[in-house]
Structure 1
Amino acid sequence: MQYRNFPMVPRVIFGRGSFNQIQEILTPKRVNTKAPFIFLVDEVFQDNPWLIDRIPLRFLDQIIFVSAEEEPKTSQVDALVEELKSRFTQNPSGIIGIGGGTLLDMAKAVAIMLTNEGSAADYQGWDLVSNEAVYHVGIPTISGTGAEVSRTTVLTGPEKKLGINSDFTPFDQVMLDPELTRGLPQNQWFYTGMDCYIHCIESLTGTYLNAFSQSYGEKALELCRNVFLEKNVRDEDSEDKLMMASWHGGMSIAYSQVGVAHAMSYGLSYLLGTKHGIGNCIVFNHLEEFYPQGVSEFKKMVRKHDIEIPTGICKDLTDKEFDKMIDIALMLVPLWENALGKNWQEIITREKLKNMYKKM
């Protein structure tokens, strides 16, 4: 049997206020004064001096603010890479992503495409990247996606929504500072946290499950239950725990996979632009057939935190639009195989998927 030799993030720093050590971490990685560090930062922080003023800009270093209103696109990545190549005479010393999953995925993709020719769309798939990425750092400001630890960068391309899954995708350095998650709106905090919870349910009930995935998944699930079911307040302790749940949740799928919710939410995202976290919640809310215990617990969390899960988002879609969503979902073969086994196509037909989407 041939086992996969997956890479992990080689360096990680955790702790409240650890963001203050960013200059100490980056300085040894500077190639020279003409090779800048490029900070890709969620534009919600544009007028937030508490964070922006702590970014240590030197020489040609630059902050580029990026909107996270939409899921990251291959065209966005291509445009950013072209801009950087035209502006500087050599590749950056590093790409630093500061934000939620969108910014982290953007940073990973830009770092890869600076050293690989063509469009980011050419690399959507598994193990298509040939050249090592530029040094890249992930600094999450939202907890739940697991993007800080995963070997994929999820992108919407002209034909599909699919990640660049490669050994060169994981960050070289991750900074986990729970202070950076303060002030998140309740809905955003919940939807992104549920991305982690759903990761865990899909991993722990999947056919790909193994002791490696199980050990991380069970810890992440325990932390999610503590934050979303047992605790009654959002405090520093819950910020710390949710950040570690995100890390462990991401690790739990490194050696396994996600499942039905993620496969179907990719279809929603591609066609309707639904954000990843909320899309997972919309889908998972209707998956009692596949994850009865997980969905029951999810609905308790929804009630406890007074969250409204959107409904009716597919009610006006045409047959052609349903077909496109179904095409996108069915491309994700490893997810279906993990969820339902090698005979998944006998269970998941196009008609069944269409009827499931209609409930949403």
Structure 2
Amino acid sequence: MLYDFRSFVNPGHYAFGKGTFNHLGELIDRRKTPTNDWTVFMIDHFFQDKENILNRIPKSDKDLVIFIDSTEEPKTTLVNKYRDQILAHQDTLPAVMVGMGGGTAMDYAKSTGLMVTNPGDSKDYQGLDLIKNEGIYTICIPTITGTGAEVSMTAVLSGPEKKLGIKCDYTIPNEVIFDPELLATVPNEDRFFTGMDNFIHNVESMNGSWINSMGLAFAEKSNDITVEVFMNKYRDQLEADEKMMVASIMGGNSTTYGQVGVCHALSYGLAVVLGTHHGVGNCIVFNQLEKYYPEGYKTFKEMQAAQGVEIPANITAGCTEEQFDQMVEISWALEHMWDNAFGHDWKNKISKEEIKDLFKRM
């Protein structure tokens, strides 16, 4: 491993089960003080016209609501923009940041809450333990499940030069509301891509050199549940969604005690150069990785067949050599992922030419 010791942090509070979303107002009120008495809501734009959900959000006149475009990956430039918007909204800092949606909305809430209390540009904090000050108290509410962002110590951002997370103990949400009823409107294709994000990072953790017994236990159980869900073992959608919420929690924890690998390294290259969304990008990449993860690949293809989902193909067909080279360099720079996948001598196990060939097959 690239570090020898770390005392890990998990979210401080969980609320799990049907109807827990109804208690959001109580949780926010606990954090308010006479001076810091307002809230920032960062909500997936999917809910912008969903009055049945918006009317349940405990918003006061002082609060700020920001709708997040989840069709694109989180960007450092937008984190900076949202930070400035929050600081200009009131004379005091907010008591609470609420991130509601998928990984994009939650990662924006996590990262923006940190940038409110840390100076400079968010791109300068892409990396491990670069944040110095604790951020705003953050509550995450997943409305699609599989990314693990709700329990992860990473907020993944695309910057001007790289896609890399702000990763530290302070990035972990302070509180998480897991209400499976909020997943009812998720399209089946989106369920698949985010579920496969969970499956894939578990496969990478389990097959990596960084894994320990704690991470392995989380990853194995998480993938047992994920396979049951996507092989249609649960006839009731609500039960399946609740199970996937558990799988996502465990999957997020597996990467805390492990690390991702080949798929995520290549997926980051696709995201920066082509803007490919994370879950879809992981599936496009993993579709070419039978050589590296044969057992995981076999199960992945079985789940794809069971769900009848088409994985996009030929997305790099129009790329120039310069674009391929850029994707390779972005991926190659993620040394911790390659170290996990192949060990400290990873540069002797895979070449830039092999990586470029993989991109050209996508």
The answer on whether the counterparts of 2:228 and 2:234 sit within 8 Å (CA) in structure 1 is no
Q: How do 1:12-161 and structure 2 match up within 5 A?
A: 12-32=14-34, 35-161=37-163
Paired residue type of 1:159: E
SS at match of 1:253: helix
Cα offset, 1:62, TM superposition: 2.4
Cα offset, 1:286, TM superposition: 0.7
Cα offset, 1:7, TM superposition: 1.3
SS at match of 1:144: coil
Cα offset, 1:28, TM superposition: 1.2
Paired residue type of 1:338: N
The answer on whether the counterparts of 1:36 and 1:93 sit within 8 Å (CA) in structure 2 is yes
* Deviation readout 1:230-266 (Å, 9 max, x if unpaired): 4264511101100110010000110110111111000
SS at match of 1:299: helix
SS at match of 1:168: helix
The answer on whether the counterparts of 1:33 and 1:60 sit within 8 Å (CA) in structure 2 is no
CA distance in 2, matches of 1:109, 1:230: 35
The answer on whether the counterparts of 2:33 and 2:95 sit within 8 Å (CA) in structure 1 is yes
* Structure 1, gaps ≥5 residues long: none
Cα offset, 1:180, TM superposition: 0.6
Paired residue type of 2:356: K
Indicate yes or no: 2:333 matched with 1:331.
yes
Cα offset, 1:75, TM superposition: 0.5
CA distance in 1, matches of 2:234, 2:138: 37
CA distance in 2, matches of 1:32, 1:249: 38
CA distance in 2, matches of 1:234, 1:80: 39
Indicate yes or no: 2:307 matched with 1:305.
yes
* Deviation readout 1:191-237 (Å, 9 max, x if unpaired): 00000010111111111111110111111011001101242645111
Partner of 1:287: 289
The answer on whether the counterparts of 2:36 and 2:93 sit within 8 Å (CA) in structure 1 is no
CA distance in 1, matches of 2:254, 2:232: 22
> Which segment drifts farther, 56-65 or 110-119?
56-65
The answer on whether the counterparts of 1:94 and 1:134 sit within 8 Å (CA) in structure 2 is yes
Equivalent pairs counted in the alignment come to 360
Instruction: Give me the CA root mean square deviation.
Output: 1.2
The answer on whether the counterparts of 1:156 and 1:270 sit within 8 Å (CA) in structure 2 is yes
CA distance in 2, matches of 1:346, 1:251: 30
CA distance in 2, matches of 1:118, 1:210: 36
Cα offset, 1:312, TM superposition: 0.5
Paired residue type of 1:304: A
The answer on whether the counterparts of 2:97 and 2:109 sit within 8 Å (CA) in structure 1 is yes
TM norm structure 1 = 0.98
The answer on whether the counterparts of 1:259 and 1:336 sit within 8 Å (CA) in structure 2 is yes
Paired residue type of 2:151: V
The answer on whether the counterparts of 1:34 and 1:59 sit within 8 Å (CA) in structure 2 is no
> Which segment drifts farther, 299-308 or 56-65?
56-65
SS at match of 2:256: coil
Partner of 2:321: 319
Paired residue type of 2:326: K
Paired residue type of 2:166: I
CA distance in 1, matches of 2:88, 2:249: 35
CA distance in 2, matches of 1:313, 1:48: 33
CA pair 254-6 structure 1, distance change in 2 beyond 3 A: same
Partner of 2:264: 262
CA pair 234-270 structure 1, distance change in 2 beyond 3 A: farther
CA distance in 2, matches of 1:33, 1:223: 45
Partner of 2:351: 349
2:181 alignment partner, one of 167, 176, 179? 179
SS at match of 2:173: coil
Cα offset, 1:65, TM superposition: 1.1
Indicate yes or no: 2:11 matched with 1:9.
yes
CA distance in 2, matches of 1:354, 1:292: 20
Cα offset, 1:347, TM superposition: 1.6
The answer on whether the counterparts of 2:35 and 2:92 sit within 8 Å (CA) in structure 1 is no
CA distance in 2, matches of 1:157, 1:38: 23
Paired residue type of 2:150: E
Cα offset, 1:31, TM superposition: 2.4
* Deviation readout 1:326-353 (Å, 9 max, x if unpaired): 1111121111111111111112211110
**Percentage of pairs with the same residue:** 42
> Which segment drifts farther, 225-234 or 60-69?
225-234
SS at match of 2:317: coil
CA distance in 2, matches of 1:292, 1:260: 13
Cα offset, 1:33, TM superposition: 6.0
SS at match of 1:98: strand
CA distance in 1, matches of 2:290, 2:116: 43
The answer on whether the counterparts of 1:34 and 1:60 sit within 8 Å (CA) in structure 2 is no
SS at match of 2:43: strand
CA distance in 1, matches of 2:234, 2:228: 10
SS at match of 1:90: coil
Cα offset, 1:2, TM superposition: 4.2
Partner of 1:222: 224
Cα offset, 1:89, TM superposition: 0.6
CA distance in 2, matches of 1:229, 1:213: 24
